[in-house]
Structure 1
Amino acid sequence: MNNLRKRKFTMPNTLSIIFLLIVVMAVLTWIVPSGSFERQEIDERMVVVAGTYEKVASNPQGITEVFTAPISGFIDAAEVVGFVLIVGGAFGIVNKTGAIEAMIAHTVNRMKKFQFLIIPISMILFGLGGTTFGMSEETLPFYMIFIPLMTSMGYDSLTAVATVFIGAAAGFAASTTNPFSVGIAQALSHISPGSGIEYRIIMFIIYMAICIGFVMMYANKVKKDPSKSLVRNISLDELAIDSEDTNIKEFTKRGAMVITIFVLGMATMIYGVLEQGWYINEIAMIFTAIGIISGIAAGLKQDEIVDSFIGGSKDLMSAGLCIAFARGIVIIAENGYIIDTILNSAANILNGLPKAIFINLTFLIEGLIAFLIPSASGLASLTVPVLSPLGDLVDVSRQMIVTAYQFGIGVTNFITPTSGVLMGALALANIPWSKWLRFTMPLLVVLILTTMTFLTIGLYIGF
């Protein structure tokens, strides 16, 4: 018996968790009483009518329905899944050009003579990447640049990791147009992806200001007194980081053209959403155009453009599967006539609470679930289709539900040990996760309080 190795616990894959929830939901259709609300069309979407719940005949779901739920989910969520794959393909082409990474590296290199500007400008650039397209894995090459750069300037490796990671994470949390988090959530809520951008821009600015201030305070403290560094006893000698070996391309005129195309495309999308009422089809059109035109401007061959598009779509295949499978959970609940019973029970509990408590509870719950399901698309597809109609019942807008979701997963992403990007960055800098947690906790407290303030204000301004 002593020779038996203890099995190490590993977190189940998001898709496994979602399929298990399909099974659980099917079991619940045999237990939970069936019921139904009346629905009416408001602003081209079906909305639950409060006070119309009534019991109906049960329709329990069996093993056949469990195994047909995924394909039913694909059919029902085809528009959203297709949107994700097309946008992923478009960004695959943009990433192939290397223009965004080259632009950031070029800017940082030009700022070396102005050391006091490197941290805020770099964090703003990474934040813009996070808020517009969910920059995450794309940050990994930059740790190879920033760790030796920051240490040579009198800072420490923790400052380097914080500049890159917190910059991108803050932008991701305060997403304005990120199609892979807020865009998916809005589509699942049947509101236009990109809508509500005015308030989201304000949130982004304040979030970035808080994060930049936090990192700069720590960096200046370490520079004045190296003994204040949280990683002063951690050696970088064994890391063998070569700042020249990053695979980041040189920023050229072609790269500048790609950045221009990207900016113009995003501006066009925002105009279309706000002024022309664009929805998924038109937004997918813009991203497709950004990808193809960027590839041509960068001088990519047609097979490189196609291969990059396929590769980008392939990277988001798991996201598409999660959306489809999660939709299968809702279909099981709808066909078993228990989704409205669940909504009615939740609404009865929450109706006596102030709306501010409801929306902030939603934010905290989303954050906790994000530890279990760190995928932005997976969490959105699992929670938003249920929380949006619940918001209708308690008179909280779907835009607010999406905002609570995006900040819930965004704040969790600052520290979650299931994040490959975070753990990879910490490994590069030889920083234990416990040190990172100690470093970020004061920032997280401020961000959580700031988020709850945003959510509460949003209720009263009709966001």
Structure 2
Amino acid sequence: MSLKANSSEIGAIEHKKKKLPMPDVFIILFGFMILVLIASYFIPAGTYERSSVNGLTQVSTDSFRYITAPSLNLMDLFTSIHKGLVAASGVIFLILIVGGVLKVIESTGALSAGIHRMIGLAKGRQNILIVIFCTTFATLASVGVGANLAIAFIPIGLFLARSLKLDPIVGVAIIFLGSYAGFAAGVFDPTVTVTGQTIAELPLFSGFVYRSAIFVVFLAITAAYICHYAKRVKSKQANSNAENVAVSATGEAQEADAAPDFTFSHKVILTMFAASFAFFLYGGFSFGWGITELSATFLMLGIITAAVGKISPNAFIKRLMNGAGEVMYGALVVGVAAAVIVLLKQAQLIDTIVHSVASSLDGHGKIMAMQLLYLFNLTFNGIITSGTGQAAIVMPIMVPIGDMLEVTRQSTFITFKLGDAVTNIVTPLSGTLMACLAIARISYVEWFKFVLPLVILWIAAGSAFVAIAVSINYGPF
């Protein structure tokens, strides 16, 4: 009897230890698609009249009306996946090309040698390296490069985290969170900032001093938060006698790599890597280059890398394909996330959501109304994660509300910009976030627990900046 009892007790304990596996990223996104399909039967469709002004689509704020629109059906659910992949094809192919080229660069040993060199110069001070990486990607994102491209650079972050004997969350955080800290300010962002300020009829890039202050504060909060988390990780490793074990991107323990020699060819390759960004930024500001030109820039970088690294043409193609294969999963996540937006547009629910929230702001004071508008945009950004798309929908509605409240156009714009950034780091509808987690093999629940305190800090900081902007009549007008 005692043996049977012990056996049953052991079985019960083992049963309790078993946990339901976290659904795959694609299952989570498909769940959101089903929710949109169901919502199409209960939420009335609505629309604003739109017109094209100077090449931009603007919304007539007093033109909202409910319309009769067919509810979504099963065929819409599945065709949206194809439509989402097509809609996001530019980003998808960019991810594949950048991922492939990064694999070519990585195969030369330049990244490994360069990171180890940085680690050596920092003399093991992980906080310095975290700040350097966060600042680098924040700066890139603040000038329009980096936020959506974080996916392709996650392998670099994971490699650095492994070299520092930290977990994959740190590797994702220094790239992804660093990028969005810079994106939140958008100091000289030629896409979202330009689109929002054009709709608000503001001088392009005006108010950059205030946005620079936002950049510094968000970056400081983010870097400090990651450093604090990294310290906790190291503390746990020390307590478990795991000082000499690094964590790989797959979550497997392994010995830290020995530092390779930093050769002249490595220096040339990394210099060309940095120069390619400068080249693209010049083209972006001078000639309006976009995703297509960025893909071409990386392909040229890959060919130059192969020449410097003495990689044969066949070996170059093989490594390029291997790299593209490694990021294929994450690239497809972007397309499926876009399918959710396709369904929302097809059911014509987006304008209904915008109208209902905008109507609720009547009767509030300046600061309170702008805070509510900020919170609305935070929530709406959880659904529409495209900055330019959100600007085209929301800014034409926010501008007249700000005018009625006698709030400066610049304050209205900064309310939009901050609301456009924060929830990107936590919403599962962000293709960039979900792709980054997929590449690093980090569950969404694990990421949510890690990033939630930072989200709260970002929301508080953004709220303070909105209140200050309204209080000081943040200009130029």
Question: Tell me, what secondary structure is at the counterpart of 1:299?
Answer: coil
Residue 245 of structure 2 aligns to a residue whose secondary structure is coil
Instruction: Name the CA shift for 1:295/1:379 in 2 (closer, same or farther; >3 Å).
Output: farther
Partner of 2:404: none
Correspondences of 1:100-119 after superposition (within 5 Å): 100-112=111-123, 118=125
CA contact (8 A) 2:103 2:322 kept: yes
Residues of 2 paired with 1:71 and 1:421: CA distance? 22
In structure 2, relative to structure 1, the CA distance for the partners of 1:344 and 1:462 (3 Å cut) is farther
**Which residue in the other structure is 2:110 paired with?**
99
Distance 1:60 1:215 in 2: 45
The answer on whether the counterparts of 2:36 and 2:340 sit within 8 Å (CA) in structure 1 is yes
1:393 pairs with 2:411: no
Q: 1:142 to 1:279 in 2, by over 3 A?
A: closer
Summarize the Cα distance change of 1:355–1:306 in structure 2 as closer, same or farther, 3 Å threshold.
farther
Q: Which residue of 1 aligns with 2:93?
A: 82
Contact 2:157 2:172 in 1 (8 A): yes
1:408 has 2:419 as partner: no
Return the alpha-carbon distance in structure 2 between the equivalents of residues 385 and 78 of structure 1: 16
Instruction: Read off the aligned partner of 1:355 and give its amino acid letter.
Output: M
Aligned to 2:317: 306
Aligned counterpart, 1:138: 156
Q: Alpha carbons of 1:73 and 1:167: their partners in 2 closer, same or farther (altered >3 Å)?
A: closer
* Matching residue's letter, 1:241: V
Per the TM alignment, residue 172 of structure 1 is displaced from its structure 2 partner at its CA by 3.2
Residue 237 of structure 1: aligned partner: 241
Change (3 A) 1:87 1:141: closer
- 1:171 matched to 2:178: yes
Taking structure 2 as the reference length, the TM-score comes to 0.66
Q: 1:65 aligns with which of 65, 76, 96?
A: 76
| Aligned residue in 1 for 2:257 | 246
The runs of 5 or more residues in structure 1 that have no matched partner are: 148-156, 223-227, 370-377, 425-432
8 Å contact kept, 2:57–2:392: no
Contact 2:180–2:421 (8 Å) recurs in 1: yes
Equivalenced residue count is 408
Q: Does the CA contact (< 8 Å) of 1:136 and 1:421 recur in 2?
A: yes
Listed one character per residue, the Cα deviations across residues 24-75 of structure 1 (whole Å, up to 9, x for unaligned) are 2222222222332211224534333211122323212211111111112223
Shift in Å, 1:105: 1.6
- How far apart are 1:304 and its partner, in Å? 3.5
Aligned partner (choices 126, 129, 135) of residue 122 of structure 1: 129
| Unmatched 5+ stretches in structure 2 | 1-7, 141-145, 199-203, 247-253, 400-408, 429-433
Deviation per residue, 1:146-187 (Å, 9 max, x gap): 45xxxxxxxxx9xx999978755652332469xxxx99x969
AA at the equivalent of 2:423: G
Counterpart CA distance in 2 for 1:74 and 1:359 is 31
Counterpart among 348, 352, 373 of residue 358 in structure 1? 373
Q: What is the CA distance between 1:272 and its match in structure 2?
A: 2.4
In the other structure, the counterpart of 2:62 is: 51
Match of 1:266 among 277, 290, 298: 277
Task: Note the alpha carbon deviations across 1:334-380, whole angstroms, 9 max, x for none.
Answer: 333333223322332356663344235544786xx6xxxxxxxx984
Q: Provide the identity percentage.
A: 18
Determine the C-alpha separation between the residues in 2 that align with 1:16 and 1:384.
27
Asked if structure 1 preserves the Cα contact closer than 8 Å seen for 2:48 and 2:64, the reply is yes
- The residue identity in structure 1 corresponding to 2:394 is L
The answer as to whether partners of 2:425 and 2:455 remain within 8 angstroms in 1 is no
User: Paired residue for 2:329?
Assistant: 318
TM-superposed CA distance for 1:393, in Å, is: 2.2
Distance 1:444 1:233 in 2: 26
CA contact (8 A) 2:69 2:348 kept: yes
Output aligned runs, 1:180-329, within 5 Å: 203-209=214-220, 231=235, 234-241=238-245, 245-246=256-257, 249-329=260-340
C-alpha change, 1:294 and 1:410, in structure 2 (3 Å) is farther
Distance 1:174 1:78, change over 3 A: same
Q: One-letter code of the match for 2:374?
A: I
Distance in 2, Cα, partners of 1:208 & 1:162: 18
Q: Which amino acid aligns with 1:389?
A: I
Distance 2:398 2:160 in 1: 45
State the one-letter code of the partner of 2:68.
A
Q: 1:302 to 1:49 in 2, by over 3 A?
A: farther
Aligned to 2:24: 13
- Deviation at residue 297 of structure 1 after TM alignment: 2.5
Q: Distance in 2 between matches of 1:213 and 1:331?
A: 38
Match of 2:346 among 335, 338, 360: 335
Q: If the length of structure 1 is used for normalisation, what is the TM-score?
A: 0.68
> Residue in 2 aligned with 1:428?
none
